Homo-oligomer: A and B are copies of this chain.
Amino acid sequence: MDTTPDLKTYDLDADELRLMQMMKALGHPARLQIFRYLRDNPQCITGDLVEVLPLAQATVSQHLKVLRDAGLVCGTIEGPATCYCLSADNVAWFAARVGDWFRHAG
């Protein structure tokens, strides 16, 4: 007899989950602002972002973690501060994948 459970298998694969996580990360105004700031001001530190955004330092740090976990941003310790920049490869992957996924969809 068949022991395989009757699961619905209309699932997302690993790449699609990654894509989804990135879109979820960017689907918040503060995080899109952070992303834009890093795009326009490479190599800035957390304090620069705190100054620009209407949010507490803890909140900005939390949003940075979401962007880091999504792989869109990386921070390197620079003395007492942390220097952030976009993760070029992953951002390029994101842009390319969105192109593949959506461009010929309409």
Contact = CB atoms under 8 A, between A and B. Distances in A.
A86 to B, nearest CB: 6
Nearest to A97: B98
A16 B37 contact: no
A27 B23 contact: yes
Contacts of A89: 106
Interface in A18-60: 19-21, 23-29, 32-33, 36-37, 39, 52-54
Given A8-B54, A10-B37, A94-B98, 15 more contacts: A12-B29, A23-B24, A23-B27, A24-B28, A25-B27, A39-B101, A39-B102, A39-B105, A89-B106, A91-B106, A94-B102, A95-B103, A95-B105, A98-B99, A98-B102
11 contacts: A12-B33, A20-B32, A24-B24, A24-B28, A27-B27, A89-B106, A91-B102, A92-B102, A92-B106, A95-B98, A98-B98
